[in-house]
Amino acid sequence: MLLKILGIMVVIWLALAVLGAVFEFLGTALVIGAVVVVGMVTYSAVKAGRSRRSIGR
């Protein structure tokens, strides 16, 4: 009975460890993705601002 309880606890601990690693990776990927998207939008805005001509000239 004791080994069964310990086995269940080990399985739950391993599942939580795997989920923690997955969420840590997803959090890191989310931050990196956000930085890349903001950088691309900023670059596009700066590039479009330089090539835009004034109206009436």
According to the model, what pLDDT value does residue 26 have? Answer: 96
According to the model, what pLDDT value does residue 49 have? Answer: 76
According to the model, what pLDDT value does residue 54 have? Answer: 54
pTM over 0.75: no
The C-alpha angle with vertex 40 and arms to 43 and 26, in degrees rounded to 5, equals 155
Delimit the domains of the chain by residue range: 25-49
In this predicted model, what pLDDT tens digit does every residue of 5-57 receive, in sequence order? 999 999 999 999 999 999 999 999 999 999 999 999 999 988 887 766 555 55
